[in-house]
Structure 1
Amino acid sequence: MKLPAGHQQVMPYLILKHAEGFFDFTARVFGAKEHHRSYKDGNKELMHGEISIGGSIIMFGQSSADWGTDNAGLFIYVDDADATFKKALEEGATEVMPVTDQSYGRSGGVKDPFGNTWWITSV
């Protein structure tokens, strides 16, 4: 099987309100790198975006009348769950579960401004 460069076999695909802002949020909180952007209607509306976090690609697009919002729950390993959790809250996320020690690591949950839940964990 041949895959496009940088893609893994299975990738989440999110349909978001304010999808353009998702680039900035993920870059500031998780260090995401832009992998791709495609626009429609003369560069006015994001049609398709891709970010890379630690080598994993997340694809997403803008919701519309044809494509309703389709959010996700995402589990992410980070170096410092407490610091990343705090940064997510500073960037507009809301707390779902405070960061606590779990059997699998230090973990907490936030809902980002776009409706996705992130389970932020360090081991």
Structure 2
Amino acid sequence: MTTKTKSKPAARPKSTPAAKANARPSPPPLSPHLVCDGAAKAIEFYKKAFGAVEMMRLPMKDGRLMHAAITINGAMVMLVDLFPEMCDQAAPKGSAITLHLYVDDVDKVVKRAIKAGAKEVMPVQDMFWGDRYGIIEDPFGHRWSIATPVRAMTPEEIKAAVDCMPV
């Protein structure tokens, strides 16, 4: 009489603490993905202007970045260089999208961004909705509205302020 021995399935490799520590974090539900003509330079600008922290970059052999990710105020922003040979990307100069950034000191951040190479689009000023607010355009054509909340207002107070505006 012959007996058949069943082989055990191969054990899955166990995850090590180092692998867990280096695991890619879960992405947030929504992240801007900026197309830049010079994504590596954009990363350096965002570090200087907004204190961005680089998460990763994937350079191609020609130096362009196929993918990069940074965080600004804890929010992930992805970047990529222009790759017209791979897909039909719009030119990055001039965009209908504005990125909004809340900070502790809008005046300080806008001054730092301008010093790093941004252009002032709207000077920082107190706004009717309770924020101190200004707009800059970065050297890569992306507009950033930057604000610091200065007073909490109800929707009714904001509506009343709008109703008093001349336009």
Structure 1 portions without partners, runs of 5+: none
User: Which of 89, 93, 109 is matched with 2:135 structurally?
Assistant: 109
Report runs of 4+ in structure 1 exceeding 6 Å deviation: none
For 1:88, the equivalent position in structure 2 comes to 113
Contact 1:6 1:55 in 2 (8 A): no
For 1:122, the equivalent position in structure 2 comes to 148
Contact 2:135 2:144 in 1 (8 A): yes
For 1:41, the equivalent position in structure 2 comes to 61
After the TM superposition, which residues 1-123 of structure 1 pair with which residues of structure 2 at under 5 Å, given as runs?
5-41=25-61, 44-66=63-85, 67-70=89-92, 71=95, 72-102=97-127, 103-123=129-149
Deviation track 1:48-98 (CA, whole Å, cap 9, x = no partner) reads: 110011221011100132334345410001111011111111111111100
Q: Which has the higher contact order (CA 8 A, sep 6+)?
A: 1
Contact 2:39 2:81 in 1 (8 A): yes
For 2:159, the equivalent position in structure 1 comes to none
What's the CA shift for 1:6? 4.8
- Give distance in 2, aligned partners of 1:52 and 1:109: 20
Between structures 1 and 2, the one with greater helix share: 2
- Give distance in 2, aligned partners of 1:9 and 1:45: 26
Provide the TM-score with structure 2 as the length reference. 0.66
Provide the aligned length of Structure 1 versus Structure 2.
119
* Partner secondary structure for residue 106 of structure 1: strand
Provide the TM-score with structure 1 as the length reference. 0.88
- Give distance in 2, aligned partners of 1:8 and 1:93: 27
Counterpart residue type for residue 91 of structure 2: T
Between structures 1 and 2, the one with greater strand share: 1
Deviation track 1:20-75 (CA, whole Å, cap 9, x = no partner) reads: 11111111111110011001126x22111100112210111001323343454100
Could you say what the CA RMSD is over the residues aligned between the two structures, in angstroms? Answer: 1.6
Deviation track 1:2-26 (CA, whole Å, cap 9, x = no partner) reads: xx51520111111111111111111
* Partner secondary structure for residue 84 of structure 1: helix
- Identical positions, percent: 34
